[in-house]
Chains A and B, each alone.
Chain A
Amino acid sequence: GAVVSQHPSRVICKSGTSVKIECRSLDFQATTMFWYRQFPKQSLMLMATSNEGSKATYEQGVEKDKFLINHASLTLSTLTVTSAHPEDSSFYICSARTGARAGELFFGEGSRLTVL
């Protein structure tokens, strides 16, 4: 199956700093990528849909200026948490879809963000 890789897998930062998380499709081109957030022992909540070459579409209640998403190429999408605060600590997971595999998503390993 297709492989999606996230980096870093774990990151700890100080409050007020910005953190960038990368999501790469390693063996396929992903026209669309999705970013999810997962709180401990809870389900995944879709944050935004990222389309290559265009602006991301954010779900209701997600702050666009806080969670910056860039999908500059068909294999890379980045999520930047700006001015992070402790409440932003969470597990962030990306997924990618290929045009040929409609309805099938491939998930990254996730990135755990801890804001001190």
Chain B
Amino acid sequence: AQSVTQPDIHITVSEGASLELRCNYSYGATPYLFWYVQSPGQGLQLLLKYFSGDTLVQGIKGFEAEFKRSQSSFNLRKPSVHWSDAAEYFCAVGSINTGTASKLTFGTGTRLQVTL
């Protein structure tokens, strides 16, 4: 069964500082990997995704993530955080086989707080 671990429940960074949110996954085959952001009381917005190819993927809002198969990781990074980035971030993994990639398993989320 697939699973996702986000080790950090809560992270606080200063505005302008760099950010890295960790994500480790467990999956038997080649995974689809996603990062979503959720503002309070809102749905989820896709930041970026990895299906294949270049292991460094660029997303919206200046975010990027790197797929490292050897470490089973897909960490999210941003060089300079803005106060508006404060939100909950979810890593998710989907299966790549049998067309069921949309059936996602989510991590428990990391809440990002940005101090001014």
Contacts and interface: CB of A to CB of B under 8 A. Distances in A.
A110 B88 CA distance: 15
Given A43-B109, A44-B90, A44-B106, A107 B101 contact: no
A110 B43 contact: yes
Contacts of A44: 44, 90, 106
Contact of A110 (B41, B90, B108): B41
A109 B42 contact: yes
A101 to B, nearest CB: 9
Given A103-B94, A104-B49, A112-B41, A46 B104 contact: yes
A42 B111 CA distance: 11
B97 to A, nearest CB: 11
Chain A interface main SS type: strand
A43 B42 contact: no
A109 B99 contact: no
A63 B32 CA distance: 29
A1 B32 CA distance: 19
A106 B104 CA distance: 12
Contacts of A104: 46, 49, 102
A96 to B, nearest CB: 9
Nearest to B91: A43
Interface residues of A, number: 26
Interface in B12-53: 32, 36, 41-46, 49, 51
Given A32-B102, A42-B108, A43-B107, A103 B51 contact: yes
A32 B104 CA distance: 13
A108 B41 CA distance: 11
Interface of B: 32, 36, 41-46, 49, 51, 90, 94, 96, 99, 101-109, 111
15 contacts: A34-B102, A42-B108, A43-B90, A43-B106, A46-B104, A49-B103, A103-B51, A105-B46, A105-B102, A105-B104, A107-B36, A107-B43, A107-B44, A109-B43, A112-B41
Given A49-B103, A95-B44, 12 more contacts: A4-B43, A41-B111, A43-B90, A93-B43, A102-B99, A103-B32, A103-B51, A103-B101, A104-B102, A105-B104, A107-B44, A109-B43
